[in-house]
Amino acid sequence: MAIREHRLVFKHIDALGYTRDIDCYLKHGGYEMLKKGFAMGGAAIREEVKKSQLRGRGGAGFPTGTKWSFIDPAKVTKPIYLICNADESEPGTFKDRQIIYKDPHQLIEGMILSCFANGVKLAYLYIRCEFTEGWKILEKALGEARSHGFLGKNILKSGYDLEIHVHRGAGAYICGEETGLIESLEGKRAYPRIKPPYFPAVLGLYMCPTIVNNVETLCNVKHIVEMGGEAYAKIGRPNNTGTRLLCVSGDVVKPGYYEFPCGALTMGELIHDVCGGIRNGGKLKAVIPGGSSAKVLRAGETYKIKEKGPDGNLVEKEVKLEDLRMDFDTLASAGSMAGSGGVIVMDQTRDMVECLANISTFYAHESCGQCTPCREGVLWMKKILARIAEGHGREDDPNMLKEVADRIAGRTICAFGEAASWPVQSFIGKFKEEFSLRIRRNGTAAKRDTVSLTH
Amino acid sequence: MSVPLHAGTDHCAGPERGEITPALERQAEELVARYPVSKRSAVLPLLHLWQETFGYIGPRGVEWIAQKLSLQEIQVLELVTFYPWFRQRPYGKFHFRVCRTLPCALGGSGKTFAALKNLLQLKGDAQEGALVSEDGFFSLEYSECLASCGTAPVVLCNDDFHEKVDEKRAAELVSACR
Ligand SMILES: Cc1cc2nc3c(=O)[nH]c(=O)nc-3n(C[C@H](O)[C@H](O)[C@H](O)COP(=O)(O)O)c2cc1C
Ligand code: SF4
Ligand code: FES
């Protein structure tokens, strides 16, 4: 069965003959939506975005129209800033990279429209520094946009001024968290800010109202202006509108990036039909559906999902892992999340102890260190997991791991605490026998594949 | 305004005592101008500029940046120690970063790392930070997810990005550097 991709944001990605320079973009109707948007006016664009029910693509899935509505450009007296979050560092996620490297002007057009809609005069594009070429591509693209009069003073003779600058991160995952990002952009350590009171919409960059949106989210704004909010909302499913970029990695035949209407396909279709199944003829064991912070799902599990029936009432259904729809609400009711769209697949040969030890090493490396439960807890979890993987586990370790994780989540300044705890809680919860077995076999088990997963 | 593009990794092994040229000063001014509200925002860009020019960030770089932005030196140094990209000692002319995060690990990045370590004859524990060869030609470290998990294992060599780097590909990369 062939499931067709629906390419909106990825329309030109990898298309034959499509290049990232502005001439090519203009030839394909580029910056036409800027003219349309300017003619509509800012309030109308905000209205269309609200109608589209677009949800943020950076991880939390927060409705973009609502986020924007916290700031009323007509009433705010301080400057309003917009920041594009191009930090893309959630393990398993590689969609924003495609846009930045292959179609940068789409992002810039989406960004200009979003800035215009919200009365923003100065915006920053925060890109992770490992995208060195991506950074140069964006600098060049912004230069092209400037010389064509799409940026700078009096854009397209509308009287509207806007400047966008690229700002490079420096290798810290926590810069993806929006308030950490703001601190970093202010020239400080990326210590996330406590909310309340530091909601970006109120006290953001330089203590002014600030909108932070993901790359994919901002690209979607362009398409919403093009087709109108209502038409956009018809793609996908109610409350899960539009298309979704999905990145699949791990043990599948064809890993890669794909675009589908939100919820149009199931986990099974994604893994088996789109990605060609498990590699080497293997069997599915586990899958992380939304970046490494999302809770793991185990093959063979079933979930009780509440869905709106045709009559509008909620009905509860029992759904197998393979039949989960790839959208925000379904994955959330399965106890995990759609997150950043990074789907990590593990086959039956994979050792869950080692996979979790690997994930925990990441979080131990990336905690900013501000809150004690997070700073100390992630290190504990990493150390306990390393000792189990190396064959020195203690009988009580799985319980201890769970206890530590339970004491981080909900007690920290930013959501990194949850991001680091969810993998531990879910792996231990769902594969407990594997942890216990490893501990019982201490020593002998350690001779396995420890090098490849836990460094 | 010309756009400063300065990822000159050829110079990455340069000594921090090199000359501060008028061109470098100009690039710095241009970067500072991007932050009309607060000069302090230019710390990261200036740290990048310094590291790309001189290879690492020593006391001289910290002082230069602090002075330019009217900051205390500690306000610059605390960023050097916080952000993993910045280094306080010279790395090799060719610096390898091997992604160790789960999707790359599933794709065999552990083997890639071991192969590189072996080929470059590096000793020591990579948990402690980057390993640098005695002649200063090569260095190697782990990296976290580089956002290209679909083409695991992924390796950065200086600014160049390499996909699907198995042991064979790793050997080819090393001979290309030599
Ligand atoms: C630890 C952590 C890391 C994050 N990393 C990213 C990231 O790399 N890219 C991103 O767009 N959002 C990331 N986010 C989410 C942002 O905080 C923010 O919600 C998002 O950029 C908002 O944009 P959106 O509404 O368009 O999704 C991260 C959040 C947390 C808690
Ligand atoms: S939860 Fe962790 S990453 Fe977030 S602010 Fe606290 S210490 Fe930093
Ligand atoms: S895990 Fe290596 S690039 Fe993402």
The pLDDT value recorded for residue B14 is 54
Tokens of A203: 């006290």
Helix (H) or strand (E) holding A365: helix A352-366
Residue B3 has what DSSP assignment? Answer: P
- CB within 8 Å of chain B, chain A residues 17-46: none
Check CB contact under 8 Å for A186 and B3: no
Distance (Å, whole) CA A3 – CA B82: 45
Half-sphere exposure of A38 (CA within 13 A, CB side): 16
Q: Is B111 exposed, middle or buried (0-12, 13-18, 19+ CB in 10 A)?
A: middle
Q: Which residue of A has its CA nearest to B47?
A: A170
Helix axes B43-54, B73-82, angle to 10 degrees: 70
> Which ligand ends up closest to the CA of B162?
3
Check CB contact under 8 Å for A187 and B47: no
Q: Residue written as tokens 């697949």? A: A345
The pLDDT value recorded for residue A450 is 45
For residue B53, is pLDDT > 80? yes
Asked if residue A397 lies in contact with residue A439, where contact means CB atoms within 8 angstroms, the answer is yes
Atom of ligand 1 nearest to the CA of A416: 1
The pLDDT value recorded for residue A444 is 66
Please, which pLDDT band fits residue B32 given cuts at 50, 70 and 90? very high
Distances (CA, A) of A280 to A253, A277, B114, B169: 8, 9, 24, 21
- Give mean pLDDT, residues B63-90: 97
Q: Is A135 helix (H, G, I), strand (E, B) or coil?
A: helix
Percent of chain B with pLDDT over 70: 92
Check CB contact under 8 Å for A358 and B102: yes
Tokens of B40: 């302090």
Distance (Å, whole) CA B15 – CA B133: 16
Contact pairs from chain A to chain B, CB under 8 Å: 166
Q: Which of B73, B145, B166 to mutate to test the interface with A (most CBs of A within 10 A)?
A: B145
Distance (Å, whole) CA B23 – CA B12: 17
The pLDDT value recorded for residue A446 is 55
Distance (Å, whole) CA B137 – CA A298: 46
Task: Indicate the class that CATH gives domain B94-177.
Answer: alpha beta
Q: Is A202 exposed, middle or buried (0-12, 13-18, 19+ CB in 10 A)?
A: middle
Residue A93 CA to ligand 3 centre (angstroms): 8
Beta strands in A23-109 (DSSP E): 81-86
pLDDT in tens, chain A (455 residues): 567 899 999 999 999 999 999 999 999 999 999 999 999 999 999 999 999 999 999 999 999 999 999 999 999 999 999 999 999 999 999 999 999 999 999 999 999 999 999 999 999 999 999 999 999 999 999 999 999 999 999 999 999 999 999 999 999 999 999 999 999 999 999 999 999 999 999 999 999 999 999 999 999 999 999 999 999 999 999 999 999 999 999 999 999 999 999 999 999 999 999 999 999 999 999 999 999 999 999 999 999 998 877 787 888 999 999 999 999 999 999 999 999 999 999 999 999 999 999 999 999 999 999 999 999 999 999 999 999 998 899 999 999 999 999 999 999 999 999 999 999 999 999 999 999 999 998 876 555 554 455 44
- CB within 8 Å of chain A, chain B residues 134-153: 142-152
Asked if residue B100 lies in contact with residue B80, where contact means CB atoms within 8 angstroms, the answer is no
For residue B1, is pLDDT > 60? no
Q: Residue written as tokens 């200063």? A: B136
Distance (Å, whole) CA A268 – CA A242: 21
Q: Residue written as tokens 């590096």? A: B122
Closest CA to B96 of B20, B154, B44, B48: B154
Distances (CA, A) of A287 to A208, A221, A248, A394, B148: 40, 30, 10, 27, 18
End-to-end CA distance of chain A: 40
For residue B30, the distance in angstroms to the closest alpha carbon of chain A comes to 11
Check CB contact under 8 Å for A350 and B106: yes
For residue B147, the distance in angstroms to the closest alpha carbon of chain A comes to 5
What DSSP letter does each residue of B46-110 carry, written as one string?
HHHHHHHHHSS--HHHHHHHHHHTT--HHHHHHHHHHSTT--SS---SEEEEEE-SHHHHHTTHH
The pLDDT value recorded for residue A281 is 95
Asked if residue B66 lies in contact with residue B45, where contact means CB atoms within 8 angstroms, the answer is no
Chain B hits for A142, Cβ within 8 Å: 3
Helix (H) or strand (E) holding A178: helix A178-185
The pLDDT value recorded for residue A441 is 87
Domains and CATH numbers, chain A: 22-233 (3.40.50.11540), 240-347 (3.10.20.600), 352-441 (1.20.1440.230)
Residue A398 has what DSSP assignment? Answer: H
Residue A94 CA to ligand 1 centre (angstroms): 14
- For the Cβ of A176 lying below 6 angstroms from any atom of ligand 1, the answer is yes
What DSSP letter does each residue of A290-306 carry, written as one string?
SSTTSPPEETT-EEEEE
What DSSP letter does each residue of A225-261 carry, written as one string?
HHH-HHHHHHSEETTEESEEEEEEEESBSS-EEEEEE
- Domain chopping of chain B, boundaries: 15-82, 94-177
Closest CA to A82 of A52, A54, A119: A119
- Give mean pLDDT, residues B70-82: 98
What's the 3-state SS for A183-216?
HHHCCCCCCCCCCCCCCHHHHCHHHCCEEEEEHH
Beta strands in A37-157 (DSSP E): 81-86, 122-127
Residues pairing with B155 in the sheet: B98, B162
Select from B106, B142, B159 the Cβ nearest to the Cβ of A455.
Answer: B142
Asked if residue A291 lies in contact with residue A285, where contact means CB atoms within 8 angstroms, the answer is no
The pLDDT value recorded for residue A84 is 98
